[in-house]
Amino acid sequence: MIDEEDDEEVLKKKWSLKTILKNLVLIGLIVIGIAFMYIGGPDPTMNLIIGFTFICLGVSIIQMKKPPKDPVRQTLTILKCNNCGSIEVKNYEEGDFVFKSKGVCTKCAGSLEVIQIYSVKLKKAKDKGKKLEKDKETLKQTIKI
């Protein structure tokens, strides 16, 4: 298994490096633009046009919308005991499907059957663990009612 925390660290580093590079390019473009306007070639009109173009490029990069981040998703498998009807929520494993019997009930040792497979969206990767536990509890409550 890959350690999730390490994974997140790598993502964060990649993202910040990208941001720094983007900002550098941006500042560079604007600086070049201003430099052209003030200390360009002999033709002041051309300098103005070139300078303006560079500044426009920089500004349009600023205004570019950041692509929405992929929400962290977690898939859960909801199991129900055939014998006593108790609900168990587990992390989805490959090959899980509805009506598949999977494992043994912790309460009565009856066989568990997959009744539902859920995919939950998690907003913050940081709170993943906490949120997941909370979601599991909420799901359990909902199903019991």
Residues that bind Zn ion (CB under 5 A): 81, 83-84, 86, 105, 107-108, 110
The nearer residue to Zn ion, 27 or 84, going by C-beta atoms, is 84
CB of 84 to Zn ion, least distance (A): 3
Could you give the C-alpha distances from 123 to 7, 69, 75, 108, 128, in angstroms and in order?
Answer: 16, 10, 14, 36, 8
* Cα 129 from Cα 144, distance rounded (Å): 23
| 83 closest CA partner among 101, 109, 103, 102 | 109
The nearer residue to Zn ion, 56 or 84, going by C-beta atoms, is 84
CB of 85 to Zn ion, least distance (A): 7
Half-sphere exposure of 125 (CA within 13 A, CB side): 13
The nearer residue to Zn ion, 40 or 103, going by C-beta atoms, is 103
CB of 83 to Zn ion, least distance (A): 4
